Amino acid sequence: MNRIVATVVACVLAVPALASGDAEKGEKGFNKCKSCHMIEKPDGETIVKGGKTGPNLYGVIGRAAGSSEGFNYGDSLKAAGEKGLVWDEETFVAFTMDPAGFLKTYLDDTAAKSKMTFKLKKDNEDVFAYLQSVAAE
């Protein structure tokens, strides 16, 4: 009986938490992001054609901050990743609302900076849900 309970618990914990936002709304909300960010699968398939000022956001959910290969991140974001920052709904929403403010708080460093100056004032949870949904395709 204990094995069954342990197996069920392990399965539940292995399933990624569903985002609280609306992925359909987030797809529309991502329009604000695509001037700087694209979404492209590792095999080269483009989901959303966008800019290259920011990193490719395919697979960003669950990834350590500042760790996408081939992108030149700012020092503060790399430091946050090295300190353990992983993009989940809570961290993604907080960062996109105020990137520099988030990094200053996370790193406890008033000099922390973010190359991302745009602040997503609303629909953050929806954009997160959208990014989560496209990575699951």
pLDDT digits (tens, 9 = 90+) for 9-20: 333 333 345 568
Residue 16, token pair as written in the block: 């990624």
Q: 1: burial class by Cβ within 10 Å (0-12, 13-18, 19+)?
A: exposed
pLDDT digits (tens, 9 = 90+) for 66-110: 999 889 999 999 999 999 999 999 999 999 999 999 999 999 999
Name 48's bridge partners: 39
Residue type, 50: G
Q: Which of 8-12, 19-23, 27-31, 114-118 has the lowest mean pLDDT?
A: 8-12
Q: Which of helix, strand or coil describes residue 111?
A: coil
Q: Does domain 23-136 have CATH number 1.10.760.10?
A: yes
